[in-house]
């Protein structure tokens, strides 16, 4: 038991006196349980392990739910933060008040004990000084009767006494000890006894733990001083039980903590109500904004009252109405433009057919004309032909806009389409001194998938002719690969390439990277837009990559069966690695790609993974761009596969 050191009264109680301390004991014993079998211990261990894992999972779920709630709810964060701050304040103030009350009660009882003990010790000493005793029994009786008055003279009758002879004295009339019952010298700390023995005129006190009953203890203060009887010096101790003060303090502390808990609940309710009043309109605004973004333009916020939140809701509704009007106007304008393009395209077909027939007659008879008329007939024929291509593109775009485009799906070999495209592009490639080649590791150069061959052919024809025009005489390679889920065709050139800014517009209608470039293959500027729409009809991706001076690459990825959802591409972008790690790619699909079931050789080198020959591997997609112009065309000729 650790106790406070004894302290001496110097005429007045020290205001900084320590509070009473105490200690208790506990009985310690051992018991031997019956030995259990190893199987029972194993079962218990297994059960404890399962319980521990369950607690860990429960804690993880709680932490996840708490973290999600903390991130997504402003009201939750505000309430929890306010409660934490309020709790710290309540604990701090409550602890301070409890400490002050405890010190006040102790000081009050200590001053009272000092005054009573001083009075009692003075009375005892006066009585002892007037005593005239000649035998030991009468001394014992006199001491007991005199000290008995101390037991009932204290406040609330809770004072006990103990008188012990100071060791080293041999008077025959001395009394070894006298107490009020249940009090022994063992409860008096040795430090206090030494202090009392060393100073016959001083008065000392010390807080102790007073044993009560079999195992209970009460806080107490023991005050000691010396008295003399018949030339024999004694230690006189008066013990004051402070349990009543401790009960009062416990009651006050319980009231304080109960009041603090109720205060925290009230603060939480108030904060929740206030934040709910403020956050609800914000949450409603967020929900309405999401609905507006989803196209539900009729959604509006509810306006209540005339405060700041009401003004916010009113302003938000005005903004939503203005936005709806503008979107409606733009939609009407777009619909009018689409209808105009469709109507004009249809109306132009009849006169254009007549003009084309006349141009063909003049073109066939051009040998009979003089040089000027001959050249004019040739120009007329070629321009009418280009006009027909533009008109066909406009009609196709109008079908996409109207949602009238459909697929004629059949199971075909992708290489048959590639052969046809190469045959048509060979004359243009020869005119540009460009060689066309196919790079693949597919066995027997065969890969069947469900597709609309007309639309896929149009996509590949447009990509190949774009690559040829911008290859600047360098080779153009067509990379083909497939796995069980997807087929990919990448058209790679090594010509002028694409700038990062061009990537943002490469699939826009009528967009050209350089309007001043000579167009040797014709084209309407709608080729890549139509190709993108064709790819979407197949639930496929059309992606682009490019770096100025390093060339460009288009990659078409298609599902092998209708209804399948793509999540990778069997060909990397670009397939030969490229040098465009710092540029972004324009993509309609996920960033991650896989080489899938087969790889590509040639300029690509060797990639692991074929469904037939090797296991699959994955490659991260390189960022990049696209070729400059959108073209679509055809022509005779043949390239070696």
Whether 488 contacts 571, CB under 8 Å: yes
Helix, strand, coil distribution of the chain in percent, nearest 5: 50, 15, 35
CB 106 within 8 A of CB 16: no
Rounded distance between C-alpha atoms, residue 598 and residue 623, angstroms: 22
State the Cα–Cα distance between residues 224 and 229, nearest whole angstrom: 16
Number of alpha helices (DSSP H) and beta strands (DSSP E) in the chain: 11, 15
Query: Residue 146 and residue 122: Cα distance in Å, rounded?
Result: 12
DSSP code at position 188 = S
Whether the Cβ atoms of residue 596 and residue 609 lie closer than 8 Å to each other: yes
Which residues in the chain come in under a pLDDT of 50? Answer: 1-2, 12-36, 154-155, 515-522, 579-641
Angle among Cα 91, 96, 101 to the nearest 5 degrees reads 125
C-alpha to C-alpha distance for 189 and 208, rounded to whole angstroms? 8
Say which residue the tokens 């590949």 belong to: 460
How many CB atoms within 10 Å of residue 383?
A: 13
The helix/strand/coil state of 480 is strand
Residue 408 per-residue DSSP state: -
Residue 75: how many other CB atoms lie within 10 Å: 19
Tokens, residue 76 = 């939750």
Element (H, E) at 552: strand 551-559
Q: Is the dihedral of CA 270, 274, 280, 283 positive or negative?
A: negative
What pLDDT is stored for residue 391 in this prediction? 67
Q: Where are the alpha helices (DSSP H) in 294-413?
A: 308-364, 371-402
Residue 88's pLDDT is 93
CA 37 to chain centre: 48
Between the alpha carbon of residue 221 and those of residues 5, 67, 588, the distances in Å are: 12, 53, 85
> Which residues on neighbouring strands pair with residue 554, listed in sequence order?
491, 544
Contacts of 466 (CB under 8 A, 6+ apart): 491, 527, 528, 554, 627, 628, 629, 630, 631
Predicted pLDDT at 296: 81
Which residues are paired to 237 by β-bridges?
Answer: 162, 224
Question: Dihedral, CA atoms, 55, 61, 65, 71, nearest 10 degrees?
Answer: 110
Residue 143, classified by CB atoms within 10 Å of its CB into exposed (0-12), middle (13-18) or buried (19+), is: buried
**Phi (first) and psi of residue 413, to 5 degrees:** -85, 125
* CA gap 8, 104 in Å, rounded: 19
Contact 459, 527 (CB under 8 A): no
Measured CA to CA in angstroms, residue 555 lies from 160, 367, 487, 620, 623 at distances of 101, 46, 10, 14, 12
CB contact at 8 A, 451 and 490: no
Question: In the beta sheet, which residues pair with residue 7?
Answer: 205
Radius of gyration of the chain from Cα atoms?
51
Task: Determine contact, residues 317/300, Cβ cutoff 8 Å.
Answer: yes
Q: Which residues contact 75 (CB under 8 A, 6 or more apart)?
A: 272, 275, 276, 279
Q: Where are the beta strands (DSSP E) in 431-518?
A: 436-440, 448-451, 476-482, 486-493
Main-chain dihedrals φ then ψ at residue 621, nearest 5 degrees: -70, 135
């Amino acid at each position: 038991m650790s106790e406070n050191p004894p302290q001496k009264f110097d005429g007045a109680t020290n205001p900084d006196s320590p509070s009473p301390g105490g200690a208790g004991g506990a009985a310690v014993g051992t018991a031997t349980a019956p030995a259990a079998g190893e199987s029972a211990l194993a079962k218990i261990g297994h059960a404890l392990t399962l319980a521990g894992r369950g607690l860990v999972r429960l804690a993880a779920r709680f932490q996840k739910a708490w973290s999600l709630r903390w991130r997504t709810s402003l009201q939750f964060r505000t309430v929890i933060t306010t409660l934490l701050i309020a709790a710290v304040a309540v604990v701090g103030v409550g602890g301070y008040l409890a400490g002050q009350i405890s010190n006040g009660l102790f000081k009050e009882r200590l001053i009272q004990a000092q005054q009573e003990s001083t009075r009692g010790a003075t009375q005892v000493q006066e009585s002892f000084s007037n005593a005239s005793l000649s035998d030991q029994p009468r001394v014992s009786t006199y001491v007991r009767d005199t000290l008995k008055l101390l037991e009932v003279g204290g406040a609330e009758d809770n004072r006990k006494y103990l008188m012990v002879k100071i060791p080293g004295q041999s008077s025959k009339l001395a009394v070894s000890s006298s107490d009020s019952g249940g009090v022994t010298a063992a409860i008096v700390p040795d430090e206090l006894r030494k202090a009392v023995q060393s100073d016959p005129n001083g008065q000392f006190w010390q807080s102790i733990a007073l044993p009560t009953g079999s195992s209970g203890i009460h806080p107490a203060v023991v005050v000691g001083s010396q008295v003399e009887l018949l030339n024999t010096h004694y230690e006189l101790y008066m013990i004051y039980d402070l349990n009543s003060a401790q009960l009062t303090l416990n009651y006050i502390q319980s009231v304080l903590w109960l009041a603090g808990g109720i205060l925290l609940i009230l603060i939480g309710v108030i904060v929740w109500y206030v934040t709910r009043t403020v956050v609800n309109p914000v949450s409603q605004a967020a929900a309405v904004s999401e609905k507006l973004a989803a196209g539900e333009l009729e959604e509006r916020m509810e306006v209540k009252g005339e405060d700041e939140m009401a003004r916010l809701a009113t302003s938000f509704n005005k903004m939503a109405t203005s936005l709806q009007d503008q979107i409606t106007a733009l939609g009407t304008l777009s619909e009018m433009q689409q209808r105009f393009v469709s109507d004009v395209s249809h109306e132009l077909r009849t006169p254009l057919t007549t003009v084309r027939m006349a141009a063909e007659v003049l073109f066939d008879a051009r040998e009979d004309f003089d040089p000027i008329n001959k050249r004019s007939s040739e120009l007329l024929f070629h321009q009418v032909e280009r006009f027909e291509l533009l008109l066909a593109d406009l009609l196709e775009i109008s079908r996409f806009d109207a949602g009238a485009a459909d697929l004629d799906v059949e199971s075909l070999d992708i290489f048959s389409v590639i052969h046809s495209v190469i045959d048509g592009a060979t004359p243009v490639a020869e005119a540009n001194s460009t060689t066309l080649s196919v790079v693949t590791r597919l066995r027997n150069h065969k890969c069947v998938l469900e597709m609309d061959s007309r639309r896929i052919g149009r996509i590949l024809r447009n990509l190949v002719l774009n690559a040829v025009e911008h290859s600047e005489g360098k080779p153009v390679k067509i990379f083909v690969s497939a796995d069980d889920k997807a087929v990919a065709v990448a058209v790679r050139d090594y010509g002028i390439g694409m700038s990062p800014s061009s990537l943002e517009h490469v699939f826009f209608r009528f967009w050209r990277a350089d309007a001043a470039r000579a167009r040797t293959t014709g084209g309407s500027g709608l080729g890549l837009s139509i190709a993108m729409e064709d790819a979407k009809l197949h639930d496929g991706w059309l992606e682009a990559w490019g770096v100025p001076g390093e060339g460009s690459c288009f990659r078409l990825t298609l599902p092998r069966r209708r209804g399948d959802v793509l999540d990778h591409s069997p060909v990397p972008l670009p397939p030969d690695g490229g040098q465009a790690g710092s540029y972004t790619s324009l993509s309609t699909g996920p960033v991650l790609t896989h080489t899938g079931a087969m790889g590509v050789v040639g300029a690509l080198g060797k990639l692991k993974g074929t469904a037939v020959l090797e296991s699959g591997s994955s490659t991260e997609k390189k960022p990049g761009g696209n070729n400059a112009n959108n073209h679509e065309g055809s022509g005779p000729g043949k390239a070696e596969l």
